[in-house]
Structure 1
Amino acid sequence: MRRFCTSGPVDKKTCYYIERPDIMKEALDHIENWRYFTVSAPRQSGKTTLLNDIVEKIKDKYLTIFISFESYGDKTKTSFLKTIVRDFKIKIKSLYSENIEIEEPEEMDDIRRIMMRLNETTGKEVVLMIDEFEKLDEKIMNEFLHVIRSIYHDREIYKLRSVILISVGYLSGILEDNASPFNIAEHLEVPYFTKEQVYDLLSQHEKETGQIFEEKVKELIWHNAAGQPGLTNGLAYDLVMKKAKGEKIITEKHFEKTLYDYMRVYIDKNISNIINKAKKEKKLMMKILFEPNNIEFNIYDENIKFLYLNGVIDNCEGICCVKVPLYYKALYARFKPQINGEKNYMATIKDTIKPYIKEDGSLDLNKLMKRYIRYIKERGAVMFKGRNYYEGVYQYNLDQFLGLYVEAADGKVYPETQIGGGRIDLLINLNNKEYLIEIKANITGNDYEKSKKQIKEYIKRKGLKEGWLIIYSNTIKDFEYILEEENGIKLHIWFIKTNFKSPSNVK
């Protein structure tokens, strides 16, 4: 029986597998047309699996050599040439059960002779595929690419039909910086799974085992992983092997436990890699996370380019964003502003959740907001005065406050939750009822109107009757509450004052 595989490359015989006909056709067309091209995708995105599939489809027609430069980083030119020939021979032996004698090259240019030798021996044109290409030493890379380019112009003589360079990020920067002559390559990007592909993956398990994912669970897997293959398989694996093992139906309750472990217990390699890369651009990452919609995407900005090439951020209609919600939640938790000691002021020994729960079990969020304002009046001078805060600081402050009370009633507060085509800043789930909260800071009148329209749209999408818009402002004179009703929808608007006197006398 097959399973969800959490590390690649994926073996079709033992793992659930998604075909990628469009990108496969594009790659095969490049090879047939004697094209040299690059392939990029973040780690655990399925690129090695795709390339292995390409090998299987063309190995009978072409002499296909798929090697990796992962361990080539510290090699001299002599050791590089010796190692690449050894790897050629090993891969040919493994795939074709042939021992081919290749004379060890003395110079980089001898690669021309090797290509002709391989063709003469096997009678096949050569397709060379190189993974982890960016690991190669810069000087050696430059020499190697010059030779490949020179072969390209006479590729039908040397019988090197195609060269495929594979990397975790776009190789354009490397090729531009280190080998400007190698401007001959097409580029092919391996995308994340589509929603249909995610559902296809899950249905393979259902058909083979009889264990069913609730429709809501499928939606949650899709939204939280956003089609990232490693995360998608990881969530599904945890559900079927741990949280719902032996059960007929995988429910939303099972998923909540999986999500909790991913956020607070597990050390997931995909998430860890994203966090480590984000830490190298901490200042920019803070702005992207906590000044949403304010950082324009520009691939020529080296800082943005670094985060983009490593799969941390994406281009969302010209704005830098974190598309994968699981990544966003992990980065949010890692980079959230520290407000140590504030819990003691948010909820004292006299504060409980009881006054904020109505007789029907629903949350009296407006009453809880009044308690929040009392807290801000007491601590606002410390929290907000004299600091250049990102919008997310206010969001995290409210998130932490609400969490103290809501979680005491076995409810949960979720930051940046997917709703249709957008995300709500905070979503409270308590006793199977949801409460939507959109947060803005220091906005203009036009932004205010747009924000009201946005939260109303979210309310409609969720099929609810009310929502909350919280606006932090350093220009208003006092706190204010407004209730707007339109077409059966209630919009609760709270203005939170942030301009306080100097905190020097506040303890």
Structure 2
Amino acid sequence: MRFFTTEGPVRPDRHYSLPPLSRWNLEEVLDLINQEKYFLLHAPRQTGKTSCLLALMEHLNREGRYRAVYANLEIAQTAREDVARGMRAICGTIAAAARLYTGDERLFAWNEEALAARSAEGMLGGLLESWSQHSPQPLVLLLDEVDALVGDTLISLLRQLRAGYTQRPTAFPQTIILCGVRDLRDYRIHASSEAEPITGGSAFNIKAKSLRLGDFSAGETRTLLLEHTHETGQVFTPEALDRVWELTQGQPWLVNALAYRACFEIRTARDRTQPITRELIDQAKESMILERVTHLDQLAHKLQEPRVRRIIEPMLAGTEPGEVAEDDRQYLVDLGLLRRDGAGGLIVANPIYREVLPRALASGPQDSLPRIAPTWLNPDGSLNPDALLDAFLAFWRQHGEPLLKSAPYHEIAPHLVLMAFLHRVINGGGTLEREYAIGMGRMDLCLRYGAVTLGIELKVWRDGAPDPLTQGLMQLDGYLAGLGLETGWLVIFDRRTGQPAIAERTTSSEQISPQGRRIQIVRA
């Protein structure tokens, strides 16, 4: 029986999958190869790049016009600045790939000849020259994980490819495709004697084009999910199909991960006579996030990078990122953390990432939280919003000051501490959804616990700015209207200098919004 896979590359005999070559503009790729071009393929991790390269290799070899070989260069990453070690690893990998995919054993001998004649710094060029001269068809070399290489090893690779470029196709590969997460400009090329990186283009100015492998479309997402129905007879409800697309926006790993958990891990769903429902998809989403599965953990780790923080921190705070280099913005798009909306602005790529990012940042404060008794629950286990407000005020007065220091992003430290507190609340069986309002100076939270839905808006009062109460009430009206609620919280964190201690300035009051809603105002 086939199943959804997140480990890649896909095997159609074992995994539900879309035809890999259907995700490229294959005609464009073949035109580039026919024109003897060298080009790049890049996309975020776990989006199907390797599956596409392997499918392209199989397609080319089946056609017979070219001899194509795929090689993963990640093994050479540990060489870092040791060029001799790195080049031996790269050439050995290519030789092993040629033996595996084409049965050609000669590359091992050519490696030794190239090393003796040109030393390690030139052996890749020597290998590719000998191989091309003895190949009955022009060579197409597909090099994966190239951006895993760093420093002088990467520079040597790129410059040897550039040096042999003019000899193609009779004495060098007709086409070389470099594949990785990042576009060439973000390759980690550093010269040991310089503080600033050398730009990618200076070492590889023969690149004809950079192709980006996109996420699934809504139609492709649905087609993939329905593979399971065709195989097992188990149906997805229309709401479940819509929910997968809504949560993932077609990110391939997320689509497969949600579907695998819903169809194969949740016990009740193993009965193939029972449909996969929206509730099962939401349950799968929550378990993925709580477990910090590897894919999501890798994204969370990126939040520590300064160039990521410069953009993500103001986005979470609801403020404009300000002057940020285009390369930094594109870097987050290339990583898959952000995407451009229809108007060209940057937004978090999908709702799951939107939830993971602040939850990861709040993990420090959450781990630092004291033991809190669930005084917000009624005797029947339902949520009491008034008791929750009292519990938060008591918690904030006592623990807010020290916990702010445990938050990794200073500008949104209060937001992270509040979210850490609310995560303790929902651990009993609720959810916390987040909306970022970039440029509007706010973050919106929606806490759902049983039959209770609570809309919360967070604002920050900073030096030189007016009291955000009036604007916050108007904005909260709009948010609550979308949720269909008549009550909510407006939490204003006072971050102005010279204010009394948190325990002294934290207060709450009730006020009617411009549209007649009953709002609890928290000043913290």
- Can you list the C-alpha shifts for 1:423-457, whole angstroms capped at 9, x where unaligned? 97322223345333332222767976775565555
Contact 2:315 2:436 in 1 (8 A): no
- Aligned letter for 1:43? R
**Separation in 1 of the partners of 2:159 and 2:59?**
29
Aligned-CA RMSD value: 4.2
SS of corresponding position for 1:354: coil
* Alignment match, 1:148: 161
Aligned 8 A contact 1:480 1:496 in 2: yes
- Say whether the 8 Å CA contact 2:473–2:514 is kept in structure 1: no
Aligned to 2:147: 134
Shift of residue 139, structure 1, vs aligned partner: 2.6
Q: Could you tell me which of 259, 284, 289 is aligned with 2:285?
A: 259
Q: Is the 8 A contact 1:217 1:250 kept in 2?
A: yes
Output the amino acid matched with 2:447.
I
- Alpha-carbon deviations, 1:145-196, whole Å to 9, x = none? 2232233345355463211111122221336536614122111122222333
CA distance in 2 between counterparts of 1:152 and 1:113 reads: 12
Amino acid in structure 1 at the alignment position of 2:365: Q
Q: Which amino acid in the other structure matches residue 99 of structure 2? A: K
Q: Percent identity?
A: 20
Unaligned runs of 5+ in 1: 499-507
Deviation at 1:13, TM superposition (A): 2.0
Q: State the 1:347 CA deviation.
A: 5.3
Deviates further, 477-486 or 222-231: 477-486
Contact 2:75 2:89 in 1 (8 A): no
- Per the alignment, residue 296 of structure 2 pairs with 271
Q: How many corresponding residue pairs?
A: 480
User: Could you say what secondary structure the match of 1:258 adopts?
Assistant: helix
Match of 1:436 in 2: 455
Distance 1:47 1:470 in 2: 45
Task: Give the distance between the partners of 1:44 and 1:128, measured in 2 at CA.
Answer: 21
2: CA distance between counterparts of 1:493 and 1:127? 65
Q: TM-score with structure 2 length normalisation?
A: 0.75
2:205 is equivalent to residue 183 of structure 1: yes
CA deviations on 1:395-428 (whole Å, 9 max, x unpaired) are: 4444455566666xx6514142699xx9973222
Indicate how the Cα distance of structure 1 residues 51 and 446 shifts in structure 2: closer, same or farther if over 3 A, else same.
farther
Correspondence for 1:353: 377
Superposed CA offset, 1:295-339 (max 9, x none) = 34734576x777665445556678775434434434433321627
Q: 1:259 to 1:178 in 2, by over 3 A?
A: closer
- The answer to which of 212-221 and 236-245 deviates more is 212-221
The answer for the alignment partner of 1:503 in structure 2 is none
For residues 97-496 of structure 1, the aligned pairs below 5 Å read: 97-100=103-106, 103=110, 104-105=113-114, 106-107=117-118, 114-115=127-128, 117-136=130-149, 138-156=151-169, 158=171, 160-174=173-187, 176-177=198-199, 180-185=202-207, 186-243=209-266, 244-247=269-272, 248-264=274-290, 266=291, 268-281=293-306, 284=310, 287-288=313-314, 290-296=316-322, 298-299=324-325, 310-312=335-337, 322-336=348-362, 338=365, 351-354=375-378, 365=385, 368-369=388-389, 372-373=392-393, 392-399=412-419, 411-416=429-434, 425-432=444-451, 434-442=453-461, 455-459=476-480, 461-462=482-483, 464-466=484-486, 468-474=488-494, 479-484=508-513, 486=515, 491-496=517-522
220-229 vs 198-207, greater mean Cα deviation: 220-229
SS in 1 for 2:240: helix
Post-superposition CA distance 1:336-370 (Å, at most 9, x none):
162778666x758xx4533999xxx8x66467546
C-alpha spacing 1:481/1:162, structure 2 compared with 1 (3 Å): same
Judge which range, 59-68 or 246-255, deviates more.
Answer: 246-255
CA, structure 1 residues 203+96, in 2 after alignment: closer, same or farther (shift >3 Å)? same
SS at match of 2:202: coil
What SS is found at the alignment partner of 1:71?
helix
Distance 1:424 1:246 in 2: 41
Contact 1:343–1:401, Cα closer than 8 Å, also in 2: no
